[in-house]
Every structure is written in structure tokens, then in C-alpha cells.
Amino acid sequence: MIGSLLYLTASRPDIMYSVCLCARFQSCPKESHLSAVKRILRYLKGTMSIGLWYPKGDNFELIGFSDADFAGCRVERKSTSGTCHFLGHSLVSWHSKKQNSVALSTAEAEYIAGGLCCAQILWMKQTLSDFNLSFEHVPIKCDNTSAINISKNPVQHSRTKHIEIRHHFLRDHVQKGDITLEFVSTKDQLADIFTKPLSEEQFSDIRRQLGVISL
């Protein structure tokens, strides 16, 4: 059941978080996990008419959204990174992934998520360059000012020196000008849907903004 749902996430980003959360318990599932998967199936049955919509003749601006749910995993206390990437108003890439290490603050969790978003954008820039499309200063929308400040500060201080070196490539690319980390309010953070359960109203609103609409 999880395998089939993971296949479906390629065209239904609205179930990405819930499916990936259930996938963490495949090795030792319980009755509660089966109930959660069945709930996802019931949601899909009631929303069979919706899907991703790619409008014609849209602008080709590359933009990313990055978010994290601090210590959202009740088992290991690890955070969940959520990212999504748009070309114009068309959603072309999205991720929901549990972080490998335990973040000690919300800023660190958001900073790590920003690194994941940055890596995907760099890959997309390289791929799009094969089509003679060039992008400079690609914005990543983040709702945590502390994470943005860390990315702009080249000095290692007491609150950031414990962060693994491999995550600081985000700061390197910000300083080189490849990307820019910009603040966005939490209510406008589209990557929120990939990090945590949301209210029905907020879930429906973000789902619409992602381009998942009735076809």
C-alpha cells in the first residue's frame, strides 16, 4: 500500500507528508499505521478529480520554498524538512524528508531545510542551462529570520559552531550570489504542507496555491 502511494506522490504533492510519515513504519507496522494509510486512501477516493495544473504561457521564474517542523518526530525527535520549487506558477519539484541529525533549535532545523532546497535549486539551474535558460540570485522563501541571518553571517559563533560543516554550503552559495534567502510569513509558506499536519482550511489553501486543483 505504501509503495503504491509513494508512486502516486509524483503527481499528488498534497499527500506527500502523510505518505512519507507512514513509510517510516513499514518495517514494524501497527494497527494505527494501517488506519492512517486507509485514511489517506479515503481522502484520495474523495478527491479523484483534482491534480496538478500547469498553465500555458506562464513566466519562467525559478523560486523555492523551504520549511521545517522542529523536532516533529515523536520517536527520535528529529525535524522534518519540506521544500518545493516553482517555475513560474508551476510546481515542478517537492520534498518531505526527516533530517538525518537532531536539530537543537528551530533556526538549525530551518537552516538544514534551506540547504536541501538550495541543493535542488543548484541541480535545476544546471539542468535548465542545457536549454539555454540562465537564472541568477534564485530566491528561497524561508519563514525563520534566524536561519536567514546564519546564512548571511560568515562568522562561526557559539550558536552555530555545532552545525555540521556540510550544511554550511548554503551559506557559501548565498555569499556567492547563486541564491538569496528571503523572508516569507508563515501563512504564505507553501512548504508548510510537507512538514506537518495542517487544519483543513490551511491545507486546502496551500493545496490550491501549489496548483493542485479540480481538473
Q: Is 180 strand, coil or helix?
A: strand
Residue 50 has a pLDDT of 93
**pLDDT of 195 strictly over 70:** yes
Enumerate the domain spans of the chain: 1-48, 62-192
Residue 173's Cβ-count burial label (10 Å; 0-12, 13-18, 19+) is buried
| Full-model pTM | 0.90
pLDDT-based confidence at 158, cuts 50/70/90?
A: low
CB 95, CB 83: distance < 8 Å: yes
CATH of domain 62-192: 3.30.420.10
The enclosing H or E element of 31 equals: helix 31-46
- Range 4-24 burial, b when 16+ CB lie within 10 A, else e: ebeeebeebbbbbbbbbbbee
Which tens digits make up the pLDDT trace of 18-28? 999 999 898 88
